Amino acid sequence: MRRLIILLFSGLVLFGASCARFHNAPTDSKDARYVVISPIYNEVIWALGAQNTVVGIDLSTTYPPEVKNVQTVGYHRALSAEGILSLHPTAIIHDNNIGPPQVVQQLQQLNIPMKTFTAKNDSCDGAKALIREMGAYFHKESRAEELCNTLDTQRTASLEKVKQYTDHPRVAVIHFGRASNVYLVVGKGSGGDGGGVSQIIELAGGEMAVENTGRGMQRMESPEIIAKANPDVILLTDYGYDRLGGATDQIKALPGVATSNAARDNRIFRIEENVLNYFGPRSGENIAKVAEIIHKK
Amino acid sequence: MTTQHGRRQLILIALVAVSLLVLIASIRYGAIDFSMTEISRALTSLLPGRPEPTLDQRIFLELRFPRAILCLLVGASLGVGGTLMQALFRNPIVEPGLVGTSSGAAFGSALFFVLGGVFHIGTSLWSLPVAACAGGIISTYLVFLLARPREDGRASIVMLLLTGLAVNALFMSAIGFLSYIARDPQARSITFWSLGTLSGASWKAVEIVALSTILGSIVAVRYAKQLNALMIGEEEATYLGVNVNRLKWIILSVNVVIVAVATAFTGVISFVGLVVPHILRMLGGADNRFLIVGSALTGATLLTLADLIARLSVRPAELPIGIVTSAVGVPVFIFLLRRRQYVF
Amino acid sequence: MLVGRNITFRVGSKDLISDISASFAPGGLHLIVGPNGAGKSTLVKVLARLLHPQSGTVEYEGADVSHATEAELAKRRAVLSQAIEIAFPLTVREVVLMGRYPHFSGRPGPTDEQIVDEVMEHFDVTEFKDRYYQSLSGGERQRVNFARVLAQLWSHSAIDSCRYLFLDEPLTFLDIRHQIDFMKRIRSFTNAADVVTVGVVHDLNLAARFADQILMLDGGRIVANGAPSEVLTPERIRQVFGVEPTMVQTGDAGIHLIFN
């Protein structure tokens, strides 16, 4: 009996293993169907008005609010090939930050078209380049130009507004890393895409309180990180803030927070990740928004 | 004896039937549901002269089918691993996850990824299971040595579980350390691994795991009679003609290899090895030959069911499978601990 | 015939038994007695080849057994120890069947099954055969173990070598009725012409009643070796065990000892 079982299994396995060679296969649908795994790309697509081509988004995409209507394929580093493919995409658009590696390999093996845009949204100008590149891809060039112009106008206006503030508060930004399930502190010069956090804070008239150790965002294990920096303002991105229910005493319980000026003056605020963490179409006005929050007394 | 024997045969046949049913469910349902006609079309597309398979068919042939088979194989190895470990330690409350084998194997795999990134070692699919085995061997032997046996040769189960706890903590924190020093993308992979997933299944993985599982199980069954003798004591087993030391080394090695190779491809999946032999014993008694074959079948079935839940409950996203097995396994573990029947 | 020559077994720097030489003929019951720590259990384990002596030899029918394989020895040598603890649900029949393990590979043959049935019958455990070993009382369990051990040595046809039965304090945990019952069964088995039986007991009265030969050990050395009446003298008992015995002669040359 046992021998029979072993034989059956071996047969099945050998049969399956021999099916390992495949050639290019055409996709089945004619219209464009994109699975877009990147918060900034999705925001731009919606801003361009090309959202009807998007059939799947990742868990971290939260803006604009309408994205809720689209299927999510899970956390961008915990994807499942089948899950994505069940939406029958004609291409997967991502910003080189997807995983696990085996799943990426599987998608490549199946010759699924994968697209990454070359422009990096690491500054306002970078954001404009990205908007234009995506505008060309989605055939929404004129809309892209509109967005760029709006960005420029709003940026100029924001920077004017910022000049009005006389103080330069020291700001610490705390982000919640969902893959590692820990709170992270953003160091100077880093954060989000291409150091967007740091730059936006500085454009908004603030100063990054925590030095950059060269490791990007650091874990908050040591209370010294925040305590030494002694920020005037602490910003928590939305997920991390909501996770503690917005309870100030719980936030103050995070390592090093309680002794800071920010805790003393109750200048601890929530901020949307999609406002602070990257440069995008709304960055022009976001600068002013952030400035308002950090200068709030 | 004949009635017990006959009953066991029946149970095994029933288990084969159930596992086939579950296999069919597994290849049919998921983020994409395949009907039986679609499946047969996908399979026939492999025959020469047929048109190229469509994307959906390729999804079935390259993602779904190997995953379903891998699930059976990994479930079987974990089930057999549990049986062997319980026979070896002569206690029904041990399993590879609890005594450090799985976490050691995960550490070996994690180290492999990190070093591979640093030294650009070729990430050949064969070197990964070797690294996992090395890790699993170190952690298991550590537990074996540290859990000092009592006079009657049996390791005190309390010592065993505590040592296993300590070794698990050691290796999981080592993995944590690796994720700290590693560059970001690898770090996240490592964290993700400790919850287990079948999403990386490929036919290559199936080949390797099939080799270790089938060979390991065959060797295990060959020593089933000697493991039975071990149940009444090491001295007694010696008097019955068993070379106890040799048996221990062989079984421990087989056990570590089949569990480590499976863990190398799926991450740490706990509690399967604990629950499966227990179920079998309730059904048909403690004969190891019956247990080993039965555990392979039951483990395969249960893990496939867990994977179905992992894939269906939040589709098109997926739950890590370790969450599902722990959700079921932990209550069972606590229940087993509280039963008066077991001797400590 | 079982012969031990100049056996010394050492652990660390301590000799548990030193320079012991004795021979045990088939067809009789040989019992080893002595105070705690005298080395009785150690001697039995060496004679049964569980332990290897640092010096000296053990011979089964003139052949040195130190080179024999476990599997080969197990066909003609069996050991009954104190009650074993089993953590798994094994039925009585499964436990008794283990006694036949040295005699078959793979599945048991019809002879093995038949022997198991006979042996269970002989020890009145057939009624328990499908019950779990764990559910039995101490006395019942030892009967099952005895059945298993004898199943290992049971043979239908005449074999050309002796069979060796060792008993390592098998009466522990048994009440008086079971102790006597056991000794009687052992006696009936050991009467076979090709069986060498060597056992360890604590109770000197049982030894006096059932043994053909008594080997008395003290501090790892032989103090006396011979018939019960020769070995169990008051002076010797006083000297070795440190108790004051009164000897009572019962009918047919039996001895009974009463202690103060």
Both C69 and C172 in a single domain?
Answer: yes
Per the CB < 8 A criterion, the answer to whether C195 and C26 are in contact is yes
Q: Which of B78, B112, B80 is nearest to B97 (CA)?
A: B78
Neighbouring residues of A164: CB distance < 8 A, sequence distance ≥ 6: none
Q: For chain B, how many structural domains are there in total?
A: 1
- Which residue of B58, B188, B206 is in closest CB contact with A22? B58
Q: Does residue B344 form part of some domain?
A: no
- H helices of B29-64, in order, are 36-44, 55-58
Name residue, tokens 């002879």: C111
Least confident window among B180-184, B208-212, C123-127: B180-184
Q: What is the mean pLDDT of residues B214-231?
A: 94
Task: Write out the H or E segment, with its range, that includes residue C112.
Answer: helix C110-122
Residue A72 DSSP symbol: B
pLDDT at residue A214 in the model: 63
CB neighbours (10 Å) of residue B80? 31
Q: Which of B70, B55, B310, B26 is nearest to B202 (CA)?
A: B70
Per the CB < 8 A criterion, the answer to whether B191 and B179 are in contact is yes
Domain boundaries, chain A: 31-116, 143-294
Both C29 and C146 in a single domain?
Answer: no
pLDDT at residue B158 in the model: 74
Both C139 and C81 in a single domain?
Answer: yes
- Give the N- to C-terminal CA distance of chain B in Å, as an integer: 29
Both C146 and C35 in a single domain?
Answer: no
- C-alpha–C-alpha distance, residues A281 and A145, integer Å: 11
In the predicted structure, residue B140 carries a pLDDT above the cut 70: yes
CB-neighbour burial class of residue C78 (10 A; exposed 0-12, middle 13-18, buried 19+)? buried
Mutate one of C77, C86, C88, C119 to test the B interface: name it (highest B CB count within 10 A). Answer: C88
CA distances from A172 to A184, A185, A265, B38 (A): 11, 7, 14, 55
- C-alpha–C-alpha distance, residues A25 and A110, integer Å: 8
Both tokens assigned to B251: 């079984």
In this prediction, residue B57 has a pLDDT band, given cuts at 50, 70 and 90, of confident
Using the Cα atoms of residue C79, residue C82, residue C85 and residue C90 in order, give the sign of their dihedral: positive
pLDDT at residue A24 in the model: 29
Using the Cα atoms of residue C33, residue C38, residue C42 and residue C48 in order, give the sign of their dihedral: negative
A5 contacts B31? CB cut-off 8 A: no
pLDDT at residue A192 in the model: 65
A25 contacts B55? CB cut-off 8 A: yes
User: Which residues 232-251 on chain A approach chain B with CB closer than 8 angstroms?
Assistant: none
Nearest CA to CA, how far is B311 from chain C (Å)? 36
- CATH number of domain containing B169: 1.10.3470.10
Least confident window among A174-188, B92-106, B173-187, C218-232: B173-187
In the predicted structure, residue C205 carries a pLDDT above the cut 80: yes
Neighbouring residues of C148: CB distance < 8 A, sequence distance ≥ 6: C95, C96, C97, C98, C99, C119
User: Which residues 114-173 on chain A approach chain B with CB closer than 8 angstroms?
Assistant: none
- CATH number of domain containing C15: 3.40.50.300
User: Which residues 143-162 on chain B approach chain A with CB closer than 8 angstroms?
Assistant: none
Helix (H, G, I), strand (E, B) or coil at A189: coil
- Which residue of B4, B92, B233 is in closest CB contact with C84? B233
Any B CB within 8 A of A22 CB: yes
Residues of A in contact with B188 (CB under 8 A): 77, 99, 179-180
Domain that holds residue B45: 2-338
Which residue among C158, C180, C196 closes a domain?
C158
Residues of A in contact with B300 (CB under 8 A): none
Q: Which of A74, A75, A83, A76 is nearest to A106 (CA)?
A: A83
Q: For chain C, how many structural domains are there in total?
A: 2
- Which residue of B13, B64, B202 is in closest CB contact with A82? B64
pLDDT at residue A113 in the model: 92
Q: Does residue B168 form part of some domain?
A: yes
In the predicted structure, residue C68 carries a pLDDT above the cut 60: yes
In the predicted structure, residue B62 carries a pLDDT above the cut 50: yes
Q: What is the CATH number of domain A31-116?
A: 3.40.50.1980
**Length of chain A measured in residues:** 297
Q: Which of B96, B126, B100 is nearest to B255 (CA)?
A: B96
pLDDT at residue A37 in the model: 93
Backbone φ, ψ for residue A32 (5° rounding) = -70, 130
Pairing mode, strands C28-33 and C55-60:
unpaired
Q: pTM of this prediction?
A: 0.81
Q: Which residue of C has its CA nearest to B280?
A: C89
Both C170 and C258 in a single domain?
Answer: yes
Q: Which of A87, A83, A79 is nearest to A32 (CA)?
A: A87
**Residue ranges with strand state E in chain B:** none
Using the Cα atoms of residue B62, residue B67, residue B69 and residue B73 in order, give the sign of their dihedral: positive
pLDDT digits (tens, 9 = 90+) for A5-15: 655 655 555 54
Per the CB < 8 A criterion, the answer to whether B171 and B98 are in contact is no
Least confident window among A163-167, C94-98, C219-223: A163-167
In the predicted structure, residue B160 carries a pLDDT above the cut 90: no
pLDDT at residue B17 in the model: 96
Per the CB < 8 A criterion, the answer to whether A220 and A234 are in contact is no
- H helices of B120-156, in order, are 127-146
User: Which residues 2-21 on chain A approach chain B with CB closer than 8 angstroms?
Assistant: 2, 5-6, 9-10, 12-13, 16-17, 19-20
In the predicted structure, residue B90 carries a pLDDT above the cut 70: yes
Both C38 and C27 in a single domain?
Answer: yes
CA distances from B314 to A55, A72, B1, B126, C259 (A): 17, 10, 48, 33, 80
B202 contacts A106? CB cut-off 8 A: yes
B210 contacts A85? CB cut-off 8 A: no
Q: Does residue B221 form part of some domain?
A: yes
Both C4 and C23 in a single domain?
Answer: yes
At residue B92's C-alpha, the angle toward residues B88 and B96, to 5°, is: 65
Q: Which residue of B has its CA nearest to C68?
A: B241
Both C145 and C172 in a single domain?
Answer: no
User: Which residues 52-111 on chain B approach chain C with CB closer than 8 angstroms?
Assistant: 90-92
pLDDT in single tens digits along all 297 residues of chain A: 566 665 565 555 554 443 332 222 333 335 889 999 998 899 999 999 988 999 999 988 888 889 889 988 888 888 888 889 888 899 999 988 887 778 888 888 888 899 999 888 888 888 889 999 999 999 989 999 998 999 889 888 888 888 888 888 888 888 887 766 778 888 777 666 657 788 888 888 888 888 776 666 777 767 778 888 888 888 888 888 888 887 878 888 888 888 888 888 888 888 887 788 778 888 888 888 888 888 887
Q: Fold identical between A31-116 and A143-294?
A: yes
What is the assigned CATH class of domain A143-294?
alpha beta
In the predicted structure, residue B123 carries a pLDDT above the cut 90: no
Both C211 and C147 in a single domain?
Answer: no
pLDDT at residue A26 in the model: 32
Pairing mode, strands C77-80 and C163-168:
parallel
Mutate one of A5, A12, A28, A178 to test the B interface: name it (highest B CB count within 10 A). Answer: A5
Domain that holds residue C41: 1-74+160-260
